[in-house]
Amino acid sequence: MDKQLDLLQGTLDMLILKAVSLGPLHGYGILLRIQQISHDRLEIQQGSLYPALYRLEHQGWIASEWGESENRRKAKYYRLTAAGKRRLQAEAENWNRMADVIAGILGTKPEEV
């Protein structure tokens, strides 16, 4: 599944993996946590969250089970699998490398060419 870096999709997947790596969460909780740790600087399309979750589960990086939410309702909780953990690590490295390169490029001054 070595896709080319599709920024938007890849980013959302990575953020979801990161969010559930901190502990099991239901879908709404993931949304809240990403907003919380990004200090609301990221606008996430709620409708696109669930297809991404289903895709990640289909790929085996997260797993789900039904549990009880904080307001005592039935909710589906997602957690990171071992494969997901490796994937998150790889994606994070990839992202950092890419960010370095892009930053390097963008930071280039005329005299350095």
Partner 1 sequence: MTLWSRVRSWSHTTFHRSRMESEMDSELRFHVESFAEDLVGKGVPRQEALRRARIEFGAIERAKEECREARGVSILDEIIQDLHYGQRVLRKSPGFATVAVLTLAIGIGATTAIFSVVDAVLLRPLSIKDPSKVMYLQEHWQDIFPGFSVGNFVDLKRQSTSFAALCASNLASFNLDTGELPERVDGEIATGDYFATFGVPPIVGRVFSSEEDQPGQAQVVVISERLWRTRFHADPSIAGGVIRLNGLPTTVLGVMPASFDPLLNKTEMWVPARFTAEQRADHDDHYLNVMGRLRAGVTPAQAQSELQVIAQRLQQLYPLDDEGRTFQLQPLSAVLLGDQRLGLRLMLSAVGFLLLIACANIANLQLARSRTRQKEIAMRAALGASPGRIVRQLLAENVVLGLAGGVVGVFLAYWGVSWIIAHGPAEMPRLDQSRMDAGSLAFAGAMALLCSFLFGLAPAVRSASARLNEAFKSSSGISGGGRDRIRSLLVVGEVSLALILMVGAGLLIRSALLVSHVDPGFDVSNIVVGRVGLPDPGYHDPNLAQHTFERMIAAASALPGVESAAVVSRAPLAGGGSSNGLLPEGKPFDLANLINSQLQIVSPNYLSTVRLPLKAGRDFTPQDTRDNTLVTIVNETLARTMWPGENPIGKRFACCESGPKGRMDPVWHQIVGVVADVRAWGLDRQVQPEFYIPMAQMPSSAWDWIGRTMDLVIRTHGGALPIREVQSAVASVAPSVPIYRLSTMQQKISSTLERSHFDTFLLTIFAAAALLLSSVGIYGVLSYMVAQRTRDIGIRMALGASQSRIVWNVLGLGVRLALVGLGIGLLGALAATRLLSTLLYNTSSDGRNHLCCCVVHPAHGGAVGQLPSRSASDARRSDRCAEVRVKMEVVVGVRIRRAEV
Q: Determine, following the binding rule CB under 8 A, whether residue 4 of this chain makes contact with partner 1.
A: no
Selection from 107, 98, 100 nearest residue 14 by Cα: 98
Is 67 a binding residue for partner 1 by CB under 8 A? The answer is no
Please state at what angle helix 82-106 crosses helix 7-21, rounded to 10 degrees: 130
Minimal distance, residue 97 CB to partner 1, in Å: 22
Compute the residue count for the chain: 113
- Among the listed ranges 6-14, 23-31, 33-41, 95-103, the one in contact with partner 1 (CB under 8 A) is 23-31
Distance CA 79, CA 40 (A): 23
Q: Which residues bind partner 1 (CB under 8 A)?
A: 1, 26-28, 31, 45-48, 50-52, 54-55, 57-61, 66, 69, 71, 73-76, 83
